[in-house]
Structure 1
Amino acid sequence: MCTGKCSRFIAVALYPLAALSIICNIVLFFPGGEVKYAEQGHITEEVKYLGGIIGGGVLVLLPALYIHLTGSQGCCGNRCGMFLSILFAAIGVVGALYSFIVAVLALQNGPLCKYILWTTPFKNSDKSYLSDSSMWGQCFEPKDMVQFHIGLFGTLLATSCLQLVLCAAQMINGLFGCLCGTCTEKGPL
């Protein structure tokens, strides 16, 4: 496969992943589908880090656009373009890592919910709330907050893993394109 075609494939795969990351992070601001929790400041701390918007979103979307342009029409533009795609893919790796770390921290600490007061009841507990669903009843408000939290941050975690793999693959692809040159279609002699 030509390095340009591979670049285009990677970029096209990164677009929906970046959009999904942004959407998940935005939805996390509205637990239970209500605005009142955001207005009152009752949002899980890791949501405010914007891992899905900045990391998995913007810092992956910008490299995806450049990588797509590099691989336009099935062939890479030139060796310099492929070298720059390595640098842009590295930015994507940084963004995906940021999103990954924020999602891991959020899943480890648990959601902010109303237990007796507004707190993160699972943050320093001996047992993991992820493996013991009987603990989920400690969150009274918002309704189904634990499932909401796990579902969206789990999606961000999976999305950032895929973004990491794709951006790392583009770094390798860009290296091949930079060292081996562009692919050219051979016409009849």
Structure 2
Amino acid sequence: MTCTENWSSCNGFLLLVLALLAIAFNLTPLVADYVEDGRPFYSPISCYEWWLPGLVGGGLLVLPAVSMTLAARKKGSCNSRGGMLSSSLLCVISIIGSAYCTLISIYAISKGPLICEKGSNTLEHCDYTLGNLSNIESLTFDLGWFLNETCLPTPPADANSTVFAREKLPDFVLDFEINERSQKIIHLTAFVGLAIVGLLEAIVAISQIVAGLFGFLCGTSKKNRRNTDGNQNYGYESQ
């Protein structure tokens, strides 16, 4: 194997690990929602978890580059100039996915969990649109929602207090409750992890673009079987 193929092998393995981590981080709040309520789409910790930054951006959009990168370093049909170039092109899609993963995660971190931002965990309060993503310059990274003891307003002392309490904490169908502090920890852990994973995926994808271009320009070592005067000869030649 040439240094380009070893380089690609390392990049492919790192991208695979990062993609699996992105999927795991994204599933964390989704699984917590389901365990708490016994049904999906009921009381999200954050609306941004349903934008699937880790499942789609850091996961599915990265896997094609992973498969081609790992295939391009093997002694097979993909181990060629064309395979190396294809791995570089697919890494462009990975960079787009990782950028989406990082951007959504940054927004989620700045906003905090839904219970801190809106005082409720109901889907009716998920009013986020793609237009919000264009206002990145207005984001502030004040983590007061995490550092403060509570981010919920004091419930009123009149008859409406019962309604407020019901909106604040939905009825649980399972004997499992995630309190406000736990929601904060899950939210911060999931989206900080996704932001870091997205940045690392972009760096590794850029590295593979460089490795793929070198492999395309310089060629790779591919094991070929040739017959010469009735004898089988095995050797490596540039493809």
Q: Please name the residue that 2:209 is paired with.
A: 171
- Seen in structure 2, the aligned counterparts of structure 1 residues 94 and 115 have a Cα distance that, compared at 3 Å, is closer
Query: Which runs of 5 or more residues in structure 1 are unaligned?
Result: none
Query: Which residue of the other structure, out of 142, 151, 166, is the alignment partner of 1:128?
Result: 142
Give the 3-state SS of the residue equivalent to 1:42 in structure 2. Answer: coil
Whose strand fraction is larger, Structure 1's or Structure 2's?
2
Whether the 8 Å contact between 1:37 and 1:43 is mirrored in structure 2 is no
Give the deviation of 1:125 after TM superposition: 10
Counterpart of 1:15?
16
Q: For the residues of structure 2 that align with 1:83 and 1:99, how far apart are their CA atoms?
A: 25
Q: Distance in 1 between matches of 2:103 and 2:147?
A: 26
Compared CA separation, residues 115 and 133, structure 1 to 2 (3 A): closer
Find the residue that maps to 2:148 and give its secondary structure: helix
Deviation at 1:58, TM superposition (A): 0.7
Quick one: distance in 2 between partners of 1:126 and 1:72?
46
Partner amino acid for 2:190? L
Superposition pairs for residues 88-99 of structure 1, below 5 Å? 88-99=90-101
Structure 1 residue identity aligned to 2:204: L
Residue number among 80, 83, 89 corresponding to 1:81 in the alignment:
83
After superposition, the Cα gap between the structure-2 partners of 1:164 and 1:115, relative to the gap in structure 1 and judged at 3 Å, is closer
**Superposition map of 1:1-189 within 5 A:** 2-31=3-32, 33-36=35-38, 38-73=40-75, 77-113=79-115, 117-118=119-120, 128-129=142-143, 133-138=146-151, 142-143=178-179, 144-183=182-221
TM-superposed CA distance for 1:35, in Å, is 3.5
Question: Which amino acid is the alignment partner of residue 188 of structure 2?
Answer: I
Secondary structure of the corresponding residue to residue 169 of structure 1:
helix
The residue type equivalent to 1:112 in the other structure is L
Give the drift of 1:38: 3.9
Distance 2:184 2:113 in 1: 6
Question: C-alpha distance in 2, partners of 1:151/1:27?
Answer: 9
SS in 1 for 2:62: helix
Q: Give the conservation status (yes or no) of the 8 Å contact 2:146–2:184.
A: no
Residue 22 of structure 1 deviates from its aligned partner by 0.8
Structure with more helix by fraction: 1
| C-alpha deviation, 1:133, in angstroms | 4.4
Counterpart code for 2:184: V
AA partner of residue 54 (structure 1): V
Superposed CA RMSD in Å reads 3.1
- Taking a change above 3 Å as real, the CA distance of residues 13 and 73 of structure 1, as seen in their structure-2 partners, is farther
The count of residues paired between Structure 1 and Structure 2 equals 183
**Secondary structure of the corresponding residue to residue 9 of structure 1:** helix
CA distance in 1 between partners of 2:200 and 2:140 (Å): 31
Percent identical: 26
Shift of 1:116: 8.1
* One-letter amino acid of the structure 1 residue matched with residue 89 of structure 2: L
